[in-house]
Structure 1
Amino acid sequence: MSGRASSASARPSRVGNVTGPGSGGDGRTPWSWPYSVAVTGPRKARRATVHDVAAAAGVSRGTVNRVLNGGYVSSDARTAIEAAIAQVGYVPNRAASNLARQRSQAVGFLALEPHSLLLEDPNIGAIMLGANAVLSLADHQMVSLVIDSDRDMQRVGRYLSGGFVDGAIIVSARSHDPITRLIAEIRLPATFVGHPPDLDRDIPFVGIDNIGSARAITRRLVETGRRRIGMIAAALDRDSGADRLTGFQQALGDLFDPNLVADVPLYDYTYGVKGMRALLDREPALDGVFAASDAVAAGALETLRESGRRVPEDVGLVGFDDSSWALRTQPALSTVHQPAREIGRNAAESVLRQIAGEPVEPSVVLDSPVVWRHSA
């Protein structure tokens, strides 16, 4: 026997050469396997179609399509169609349906923050999880789009303009952001977390009363007997940062000293360290500090310890957000509770209603109470 097939019917339907890294297994000399190799495997089963469902149910394709698209049919027809779908194993082709409707079933989650802050900020993560929970139940995919540079801005702008998402949730938008203007121009269904003041179009937003909450916790700090109170004011190019500074100033009234405001760019632990050092250099007798976020407050607390200041005995310290940072510090932070997951859920619901053509509330402002602990 030569080992060759004795008839044409024994030949494989597809053959090919197998190439490997080298003869003798040394990984250097290229070679081709000299024998034919059959490419075998199970055939892919044919996908059940609407025609199959209609034939099994004894109805027209149009009646099947009405059921699939949520239209009205008689109860008998619906029962027959549902049984036929199970019988033939029909699975709707969402991609084709979305293409016909010019829908992507995707919503962009735009975070206008540096990559490092996005990973460290528990609030952004909680907002994202809250939004994703709602989108998932609605059978929509959330697409995370991080904007950390001008190149990112251009890339994401092209992506949004190309129709790859049906809507967008925007977090940490600043005044005069190009992406904000683009969303207004292309009239993309969108909802802001917070509200940039320079929008040409009224885009809905979800947030909290940053001014009122900052005012409330600053007043509580004053009530502990502090008189030389400073603030580490972060992100003043965003509505949240600017509003928290406004609330702080309103609460202090005549006690407000603009020299005791350290302006830092981000809600970040490192900037809390730097801002606290600046305040201590300006006013060694400082006895109270309002940090614009819990991460900033945690950095400030580290600096106060290094300088020999006790918290709360020497310096009362309060933060903002009631994030995981607030419970990681010793002592635990007095802070403002920001309902981050609920903000994300409301933002997602707003975008989905806009996509569906339903009316939405122009603004949703959630409660953000003071949570008093041991740092002040």
Structure 2
Amino acid sequence: MQRRNATSKRATVHDVAAAAGVSRGTVSRFLHGGYVSTAARDAIETAITETGYVPNTAARNLVTQRSQAVGFIVLEPQGQLLEDPNIGAIMLGANAVFSAADYQMVNLVVDSARDLARIAKYLMGGFVDGVIIVSARAHDPITRIVTEMALPATFVGHPPDLGRDVPYVGIDNVGSARAITERLAATGRRRIGMIAAALDRDSGADRLLGFQLALGERLDARLVAKVRYYDYVSGMHGMRVLLDREPRIDGVVAASDFVAAGALQVLREAGRVVPEDVGIVGFDDSPWAQRTSPALSTVHQPANELGARAADLVLRQLRGAPFEPGGILLPTPVVWRASA
């Protein structure tokens, strides 16, 4: 294969046509997916390799008014983004779908007001054709910006102020949290608490509601430790709060597996044996659920599929294809392991 050095002139369609021995129009049809004969196709592909031709996507985008890029917006602190396996799985699921459709996925992290202002300008500049938004809170500025721009968008989760006609993909956090809490209570635990995280977004608030509904009149409001994030440090803090309030606590529902892992560390330090002294359950069925000792009972959240389905909904909007407005809820079975 011929190599073009950095200072050589960029190959053009004319160069490819000359090398392939076909017309410029034939090369153009090939590049745009039109019909060309097998012989012409083989000759053009060989010529592209020999000349080092790279399609000028910038010029194409000026004509089509499309960037062929979709933003993946995560409204989480950077540390949470790097450590939370669910966000990574959602991202990979979305990227696989966009890649198959020849779209570039651009990752955008909103960790501060400065990030918000910069990303708002980026979106309004037309650098992406649509967006996936993960972890939006109620009254989030990004939601307002995307809505005002009428930018094709899909949310992972459903903030309470999001209109029902806006596409979203999620899970039944209330029902899932209720199911695993009831399963934990059925093991005979009598003093059950919860480490409730991320109550400023729908997932955290809904998991707390599911916990409360499961216990009903047995609920002890003192045994709800509210923490800010779905992370290990928050789990440690929440578990210390619960032990201070009720040293005899014998059951814990953690808002995520990552939170549960932190809680398990504190229980070990306190000399409490799991599951004999305290039964503990998580949420997500992330890699953390099987890294802990004992392995966590949890709720399986199909993170990869959430990303894939969100990407598909964005592409449908971009293509003008029909889709059912409102939300898609994916199944979340309870996975019972040794921790409870």
Return the TM-score normalized by structure 2. Answer: 0.90
Equivalent residue number for residue 130 of structure 1: 93
Secondary structure, counterpart of 1:139 in structure 2 = coil
Q: CA deviation at 1:52?
A: 6.0
Give the distance between the partners of 1:304 and 1:283, measured in 2 at CA: 13
Equivalent residue number for residue 244 of structure 1: 207
Equivalent residue number for residue 49 of structure 1: 13
* Deviation sequence 1:87-119 (CA, Å, 0-9, x none): 643653222212211111111111100111111
- Please say if residues 129 and 341 of structure 1, whose CA atoms lie closer than 8 Å, have aligned partners that are also in contact: yes
The Cα RMSD (Å) is 2.2
Equivalent residue number for residue 372 of structure 1: 336
- Please say if residues 13 and 27 of structure 2, whose CA atoms lie closer than 8 Å, have aligned partners that are also in contact: no
Q: CA deviation at 1:68?
A: 3.8
> Quick one: structure 1 residues 314 and 86, their matched pair in 2 at CA, closer, same or farther if it must change by over 3 Å?
closer
> Quick one: structure 1 residues 54 and 256, their matched pair in 2 at CA, closer, same or farther if it must change by over 3 Å?
farther
Unaligned residue ranges in structure 2 (runs of 5+): none
Stretch deviating more after TM superposition (216-225 or 362-371): 362-371
Give the distance between the partners of 2:7 and 2:199, measured in 1 at CA: 62
- Please say if residues 96 and 308 of structure 2, whose CA atoms lie closer than 8 Å, have aligned partners that are also in contact: yes
Q: CA deviation at 1:201?
A: 7.2
Give the distance between the partners of 2:30 and 2:320, measured in 1 at CA: 21
Q: CA deviation at 1:293?
A: 0.3
Q: Alignment partner for residue 260 of structure 1, among 223, 236, 240?
A: 223
Whichever residue aligns with residue 45 of structure 2, its letter is: A
- Please say if residues 57 and 83 of structure 1, whose CA atoms lie closer than 8 Å, have aligned partners that are also in contact: no
Equivalent residue number for residue 318 of structure 1: 281
Stretch deviating more after TM superposition (306-315 or 176-185): 306-315
Does structure 1 residue 230 correspond to structure 2 residue 189? no
Q: CA deviation at 1:82?
A: 2.5
Give the distance between the partners of 1:46 and 1:120, measured in 2 at CA: 42
Equivalent residue number for residue 113 of structure 1: 76
Does structure 1 residue 144 correspond to structure 2 residue 107? yes
Q: Alignment partner for residue 45 of structure 2, among 68, 86, 104?
A: 86
Identity, % of aligned positions = 67
Equivalent residue number for residue 174 of structure 2: 211
Q: CA deviation at 1:64?
A: 5.7
Secondary structure, counterpart of 2:165 in structure 1 = coil
Q: CA deviation at 1:360?
A: 2.3
Whichever residue aligns with residue 215 of structure 1, its letter is: R
Equivalent residue number for residue 15 of structure 1: none
Equivalent residue number for residue 192 of structure 1: 155
- Please say if residues 181 and 199 of structure 1, whose CA atoms lie closer than 8 Å, have aligned partners that are also in contact: no
Q: Alignment partner for residue 122 of structure 2, among 159, 164, 171?
A: 159
- Please say if residues 106 and 166 of structure 1, whose CA atoms lie closer than 8 Å, have aligned partners that are also in contact: yes
Q: CA deviation at 1:53?
A: 3.7
Secondary structure, counterpart of 1:182 in structure 2 = helix
Structure ranking higher on relative contact order (CA contacts 8 Å, 6+ apart): 2
Q: CA deviation at 1:314?
A: 0.9
**Higher Cα Rg, which structure:** 1
Give the distance between the partners of 1:42 and 1:233, measured in 2 at CA: 56
> Quick one: structure 1 residues 87 and 375, their matched pair in 2 at CA, closer, same or farther if it must change by over 3 Å?
closer
Stretch deviating more after TM superposition (294-303 or 250-259): 250-259
Q: CA deviation at 1:306?
A: 1.5
- Please say if residues 297 and 317 of structure 1, whose CA atoms lie closer than 8 Å, have aligned partners that are also in contact: yes
- Aligned length in residues: 331
* Shift >4 Å, 4+ stretches: 54-60, 63-67, 77-81
* Deviation sequence 1:196-255 (CA, Å, 0-9, x none): 120257321111111111111111101100111111000011111011111111111111
Whichever residue aligns with residue 239 of structure 1, its letter is: D
